[in-house]
Amino acid sequence: MISLDLIQRTAERLMEKAAIEIPEDYLDGLKATAAVEDGDLSSFVLQAMLENYEAAKEDRRAMCGDTGCPRWYVKMGNEARIEGGPIALEAALRRATARATHDIPLRPNRVHPLWRTDHDNNVGIGAPEIEYGFEPGGDWIDLITVHKGGLFGTDYRMLFPSDGIQGIRRFFLDSLVAFGKRGLACQPAIIGIGLGGSKDACMVLGKRAACLRTVGSRNSDPRIAALEDELKVLGNSIGMGAMGFVGKSMVVDCNIEVGYCHTGGMQMSVHAFCLSSRRAVARLWGDGRVEYRTDPDWFTDYQRRETVEWTVPQDQNEFA
C-alpha cells in the first residue's frame, strides 16, 4: 500500500522541481532552436532564457515570476492501493500544493471568478485540477505536476471533414499568429493539438499533448507523426520567434493527439505550453520506492486503444 505521507512528501518535491528545473528534453530543444535563430531580438531572448534557467537552478528559485496554475495528473496501475483511498490522495495533493505555494514560493494565482477570493495557496473550488488515467497491471502510481499558464495560449475551432488537412494547417497558423501578435503565449513553446472528441474532450487532448509529451516524441500513428513534423516546420516559417519578435523560433515541437468524434465534425484545439515547460513526474510503489523523471509517459498504447477489449500487443510485456 502506498502511504499518504510518501504521496505528500513526493508531491511537494515535484512542485519544487517543476517550478525550478527545466526538463532536459525541452532544454535540449530550446538549445537547438537557439542555435539556428538569426533574429537579433529573438536570439537575445533565447540566450536570456537559457541564462535564467541556470540561475533559477543554482539559486533554487522559481524560473518565472508567473508560476502558472499548478495542476496534477495521476496515473494508477490497476493493482495499486492507496492509504485512505482516492479521497485521501486528493487531500494530500491539495496540501502539497498549498505548502509548496508558501515554501518555494509560488505566486498564488488562483481566485474565485466572481468574488476574487484568494486563499493565498493556489487551492480552491476545482483547484488544483486533478485528472486521472489508468494502466493494466502494476502496483504503482505516477504523480505528474504541470505548472501551465492559465490565461491565454489556447484556441478552439469546429472544423468539418471537408476542411481536411488544409483546414488543420490554416487554423494552426491562425492560432500561432494570434498568439504571437497579441502576446497570448510565451514563445518558443511546445504546441499541443487536439483533434476530434467532443469540444471538452478536444480541449483536454490538446492540453495533454502540450503538457504530457516530450520534445522529440512522435505519435504512434506514422501519418499523424508526419503531420507533427510538418506543422513544426510550418509554425517556424511565419517570421515570428521568441516572445513574438521577428525570427524563426516559434515552435520547439508540435504534438498531436486524437479522439474519435461525431461523424459530421472534426474538432480542433491548439495549446501553447509555457516557454519553461514546467512539469515533473514521480512513480511511487507500495514498498516506499520513488523514481523521479521528466517524461510523463502518459500516451501509452492503452491510452490510445481503439478496441472494446484490451489485449497486450505481441511485442510488449510491460502490462502483462
Which domain covers residue 13, as residue numbers?
Answer: 4-17+63-148+279-319
Task: Look up the pTM and report it.
Answer: 0.94
Q: In what order do the strands lie in the sheet with 189-196?
A: 154-159, 266-272, 189-196, 251-259
In a domain, 235, yes or no: yes
Domain C-terminal end among 257, 272, 287:
272
Whether residues 182 and 239 share a domain: the answer is yes
Whether residues 81 and 119 share a domain: the answer is yes
In a domain, 242, yes or no: yes
In a domain, 69, yes or no: yes
> How many domains does the chain contain in total?
2
Whether residues 231 and 298 share a domain: the answer is no
Whether residues 285 and 193 share a domain: the answer is no
Whether residues 144 and 283 share a domain: the answer is yes
DSSP output for 164-191: HHHHHHHHHHHHHHHHHHTT-S-SSEEE
Whether residues 258 and 309 share a domain: the answer is no
Whether residues 13 and 116 share a domain: the answer is yes
Whether residues 11 and 135 share a domain: the answer is yes
Whether residues 228 and 292 share a domain: the answer is no
Whether residues 155 and 134 share a domain: the answer is no
List all residues 6 or more positions away from 147 whose beta carbon is below 8 Å from its beta carbon: 18, 19, 67, 68, 69, 70, 71, 106, 274, 276, 278, 279
Q: What is the pLDDT along the chain (320 residues), one digit of tens a residue?
A: 999 999 999 999 999 999 999 999 999 999 999 999 999 999 999 999 999 999 999 999 999 989 999 999 999 999 999 999 999 999 999 999 999 999 999 999 999 999 999 999 999 999 999 999 999 989 999 999 999 987 778 999 999 999 999 999 999 999 999 998 888 888 899 999 999 999 999 999 999 999 999 999 999 999 999 999 999 999 999 999 999 899 999 999 999 999 999 999 999 999 999 888 999 999 999 999 999 999 999 999 999 999 999 887 665 554 43
Whether residues 184 and 263 share a domain: the answer is yes
Whether residues 204 and 249 share a domain: the answer is yes
In a domain, 257, yes or no: yes
Report which residue type is found at 145: T
In a domain, 108, yes or no: yes
